[in-house]
């Protein structure tokens, strides 16, 4: 159990006044009362926790395997933060980590694009040496694969549930009855639905099975880019997809994998925030561009709850399409754009001067927790050219 200072009681400066004895007595009495109440509260909490844990261990083999309510109570109050907790060899592990490929994949040919994801319960790293039990859309961890189609193509989506509990997939790019298309798929089953990608932009997809907070927090999200054809975008030389998200851990994930701490997810107290699922991965393995190239970022904030305030340090967006409204006129000369949880944004930068340009969520707690990367333009001095 963590020891927290009993703030503010032990930090309140002592102020002596002339009104003297009564207030001193009252203060002592109050202090005594607080201590007694606190003691009994602690005992009750401890009993409740023991009861929960013994109950949970008797009925639930693992928090990854089901909708059991033990996941709701892994951490009792006060909530423990594991922010920034990494093993000693974190730097080495970060270098060895294979970064999620942020490059926008090409659009498949044909009128119908078949997408098949086989869902798998798996352990991934969300930061160097920090393991987490995810429900992964495709056996690659989180986010799921980048889906790229052209406006007007039909997406034929098949979800095979290789996990232990029901899951589903909700595409924000679709206009479709959710009770039909986004329905739960039972373990071992597959389900196929189609939708026409008529609205260009970058959209989130995610599991929509209840509790959605838990399913998204466990890594069930990704991005689909629908490239516009009716009103094509200006040419870009490099295109990258970034999915911002946050992780809520019930342990540090170092010796054994962490699972979801639902209380922290509800309290919006993440341990790590990431681009493409792993803290700081593009700091160690920067995205690249040549000087003078136009770089396009397709950004989704998956949450589950927090927005991402997208900003590239050392430059200004040449074009920004807030809310990924790519059929509209882009904003120019914009510094930071909010990408709402469950929403997207598209951002062009054109950088002439070689250097290392951090891209961040400028809500800076996010940077501290890992939602930062580097765009390496050219071969700036002082960096390797691997």
Judged by the rule CB under 5 A, the positions of this chain that interact with Cu ion are 167, 207, 209, 215, 220
Nearer to Cu ion, 151 or 261 (CB): 261
Q: Indicate the residue whose CB is closest to Cu ion.
A: 207
Nearer to Cu ion, 126 or 324 (CB): 126
Least distance between Cu ion and beta carbon 69 (Å): 16
153 touches 114 (CB < 8 A)? no
Least distance between Cu ion and beta carbon 220 (Å): 5
CA 256 from chain centre, in angstroms, equals 21
Q: Could you give the CA distance from residue 289 to residue 100 in angstroms, rounded to a whole number?
A: 17
Nearer to Cu ion, 207 or 225 (CB): 207
Least distance between Cu ion and beta carbon 184 (Å): 9
Least distance between Cu ion and beta carbon 166 (Å): 7
Burial of 122 (0-12, 13-18, 19+ CB in 10 A): buried
For 305-318, give one letter per residue: b (16+ CB within 10 A) or e: bbbbbbbbeebebb
Nearer to Cu ion, 215 or 238 (CB): 215
Least distance between Cu ion and beta carbon 56 (Å): 21
- Within a 10 A sphere around the Cβ of 55, how many other Cβ atoms? 13
273 touches 306 (CB < 8 A)? yes
Cis bond upstream, residue 88 (ω within 30): no
Least distance between Cu ion and beta carbon 222 (Å): 12
Cis bond upstream, residue 211 (ω within 30): yes
Q: Which of 155, 253, 150, 263 is nearest to 213 (CA)?
A: 263
Nearer to Cu ion, 205 or 282 (CB): 205
Nearer to Cu ion, 128 or 219 (CB): 219
């Amino acid at each position: 159990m963590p020891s927290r200072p009993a703030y503010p009681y032990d930090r309140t400066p002592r102020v002596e006044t002339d009104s003297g004895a009564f207030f001193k007595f009252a203060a002592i009495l109050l202090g005594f009362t607080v201590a007694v109440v606190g003691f009994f509260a602690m005992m009750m909490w401890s009993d409740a926790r023991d009861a929960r844990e013994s109950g949970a261990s008797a009925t639930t083999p693992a928090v990854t395997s089901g909708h059991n309510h033990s996941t709701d109570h892994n951490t009792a109050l006060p909530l423990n933060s594991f922010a920034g907790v990494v093993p000693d060899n974190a730097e080495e592990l970060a270098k060895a980590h294979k970064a999620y490929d942020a490059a926008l994949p090409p659009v498949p040919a044909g009128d119908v694009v078949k997408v098949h994801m086989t869902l798998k319960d798996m352990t991934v790293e969300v930061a160097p040496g920090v393991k987490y039990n995810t429900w992964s859309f495709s056996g690659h961890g989180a986010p799921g694969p980048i889906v790229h189609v052209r406006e007007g193509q039909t997406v034929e989506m098949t979800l095979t549930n290789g996990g232990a509990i029901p899951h589903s997939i909700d595409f924000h790019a679709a206009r479709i009855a959710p009770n039909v298309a986004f329905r739960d798929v039972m373990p071992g089953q597959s389900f196929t639905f189609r939708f026409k990608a008529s609205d260009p932009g970058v959209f989130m997809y995610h599991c929509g099975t209840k509790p959605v907070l838990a399913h998204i927090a466990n890594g069930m999200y990704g991005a689909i880019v629908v490239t516009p054809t009716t009103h094509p975008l200006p040419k870009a030389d490099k295109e990258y997809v970034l999915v911002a998200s946050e992780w809520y851990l019930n342990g540090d994930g170092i010796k054994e994998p962490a699972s979801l701490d639902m209380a922290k997810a509800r309290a919006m107290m993440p341990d790590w925030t990431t681009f493409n699922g792993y803290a700081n991965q593009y700091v160690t393995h920067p995205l690249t561009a040549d000087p003078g190239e136009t770089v396009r970022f397709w950004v989704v904030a998956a949450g589950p709850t927090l927005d991402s305030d997208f900003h590239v340090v050392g430059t200004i967006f040449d074009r920004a399409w807030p809310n990924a409204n790519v059929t509209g006129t882009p904003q120019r000369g914009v510094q930071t754009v909010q990408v709402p949880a469950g929403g997207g944004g598209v951002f062009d930068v054109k950088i002439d001067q070689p250097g290392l340009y951090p891209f961040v969520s400028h809500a800076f707690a996010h940077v501290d927790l890992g939602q930062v990367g580097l765009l390496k333009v050219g071969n700036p001095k002082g960096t390797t050219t691997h």
